[in-house]
Structure 1
Amino acid sequence: MRILMISDTYFPRISGVATSIRSFRQGLELLGHEVDLLIPDYGSCTSEECGIYRIPARNIPFFPEERLMQPRALLKIKTGLKARHYDILHIQTPFVAHYLGNHLARSLKLPVISSYHTYFEAYLGHYYGKIPGPLRKAMARIPSRQQCAAINGLI
């Protein structure tokens, strides 16, 4: 199976999500699958693994370790991605990658699945503790439901 993954985060940004993606990718490759990954360019990598496409990205105010992929840059390589004849697109994160991944999946006529790495209803309290709990939960729950409804499967 030929799999295209997309994520808003990956190494050199160290996180549980990046580690999970790397492990997941390696495991799938050991099973004989081909896995390519679309991720933000952090501007600091000198060597690259095969099958990893770093998309030009910009800094995000107040989150210096994160990057925001530029949608136009990703769309420029769509023809090249189509030529790879993927079987499925796997979205790894719920931010820009989710929306770009869904757009790519429709354009490439691929089924799309997503991994749910972070339980945002609990997570938001760490960053936005002054927002009342029920409102924080709604802020996480509403987009999560919309995103889950827009895909073919959820891990």
Structure 2
Amino acid sequence: MRILVVSDAWRPQVNGVVRTLDTLKTELERTGHDVVMVTPDRFRSIPCPTYPEIRLALRPGPKVARMIEEAQPCAIHIATEGPLGWAARRYCIRRGIPFTTAYHTRFPEYIQARFRLPLRLSYAVMRRFHGASSSVMVATQGIETELARRGFARISRWSRGVDTELFRPRPEAKGETGPFAGLPGPIFLYVGRVAVEKNIKAFLAIDLPGTKVVVGDGPQLDEMKRKHPEVHFTGAKFGEELAVHYAAGDVFVFPSRTDTFGLVLLEALASGLPVAAYPVPGPNDVIGSHPAGVLDEDLGKAARAALVIDPALCRAHALEFSWGAAARQFVDNLAPFETFPAPGRPARRLSAA
């Protein structure tokens, strides 16, 4: 099946949405599907205000329409609520083409954190965007429950996976040649964007023994470096180097209250790191009452308690999450149509049979 995916988030951005879609594309192609990506790198764009790493496509409507028609897809998935997402949505609605969407990011909370816009206004926009979708894919039960309470409909589950070959325990990473050699232990690790919506200040403010390490880049990096000279900032890491940094830590601290899942949680667990986090959607769904982590409103208490968790428990829990299973969920949620519709004719959905 040829699947067209529209996303305002794509390489070279570094975030969970990009990594999820990139891995999904690879997994779908591995199983015989043809995936066409409509992404900002193929458009004239400008930096997003307060978030310059994100590029916003300028007047993308005509080109998005051409790209969809040239691809002749069997199913269309709109991954993000940015300019490309809105352009693809308008095209599909006008042509009567079914499409699916995903709720990757709690944009209302992000916007509130940055601009103090009331949540009710942002959620009204989100409901309008997703309201025409055949299926709104979410990663966890917690997010599904929250969206249903806010009036979203036709919600389906699309979980996440982790590369357990790349992210694995590496005893040598904790030795004299490891990335944190010479730093006082234990190592409390954060991996992710250094941005206000990630609530990183909560992690940096708590009193912990040893060393706090931040792996990642973002708009608050320079500010956090000035405020917290005692913290070890490594910048962004990728691939094998990132995996080694995970394995060199002792506890993974996840301070975000706004993530819909938290792919980094699985990467940390697969590397043998116990998780300390708040009891909010994302951590509640990935960790819950499992002994691989500690969830507490006192983040410092959770981090200290997580030190005694057996790394083998963490690894075993991560092994339950498969990208193959996640890709099958994604395909099952799609709204395929028999053939791409000719101008003036609506698409015909494939029957359930």
Same topology, TM > 0.5: yes
Instruction: Return the TM-score normalized by structure 1.
Output: 0.75
Q: CA deviation at 1:153?
A: 1.4
SS in 1 for 2:39: strand
SS in 2 for 1:83: helix
Q: Give aligned-pair identity as a percent.
A: 26
Q: CA deviation at 1:107?
A: 5.6
Instruction: Verify: 1:88 aligned to 2:75, yes or no.
Output: yes
Q: Closer, same or farther in 2 for the Cα pair 1:32/1:78, shift >3 Å?
A: same
Instruction: Verify: 1:101 aligned to 2:88, yes or no.
Output: yes
From 35, 39, 46, the equivalent of 1:58 is: 46
Q: Closer, same or farther in 2 for the Cα pair 1:121/1:78, shift >3 Å?
A: closer
Q: How does 1:1-155 map to 2 (within 5 A)?
A: 1-41=1-41, 54-72=42-60, 75-76=62-63, 78-79=65-66, 81-106=68-93, 109-128=96-115, 131=116, 136-155=118-137
Q: How many residues align?
A: 137
Q: Deviations over 1:28-66 (max 9, x none)?
A: 21221111111112xxxxxxxxxxxx2222233433212
Structure 2 CA distance for aligned equivalents of residues 109 and 80 of structure 1: 17
- Residue in structure 2 matched with residue 48 of structure 1 by the alignment: none
SS in 2 for 1:111: coil
Q: Closer, same or farther in 2 for the Cα pair 1:14/1:97, shift >3 Å?
A: same
Higher normalized contact order (CA 8 Å, seq sep 6+, divided by chain length): 1
Q: Deviations over 1:84-113 (max 9, x none)?
A: 320111111112122111123246653211
Q: Closer, same or farther in 2 for the Cα pair 1:80/1:19, shift >3 Å?
A: closer
Structure 2 CA distance for aligned equivalents of residues 120 and 63 of structure 1: 13
Amino acid at match of 2:10: Y
Amino acid at match of 1:13: Q
Aligned CA RMSD, in angstroms, stands at 2.2
Which protein shows a greater Rg?
A: 2
Structure with greater strand percent: 1
SS in 2 for 1:64: strand
Q: Is contact 1:38-1:55 (8 Å) kept?
A: no
Q: Is contact 1:91-1:113 (8 Å) kept?
A: yes
Structure 2 CA distance for aligned equivalents of residues 37 and 21 of structure 1: 10
Structure 2: gaps spanning 5 or more residues: 138-353
SS in 1 for 2:118: helix
Instruction: Return the TM-score normalized by structure 2.
Output: 0.36
Amino acid at match of 1:152: S
Q: Is contact 2:7-2:38 (8 Å) kept?
A: yes
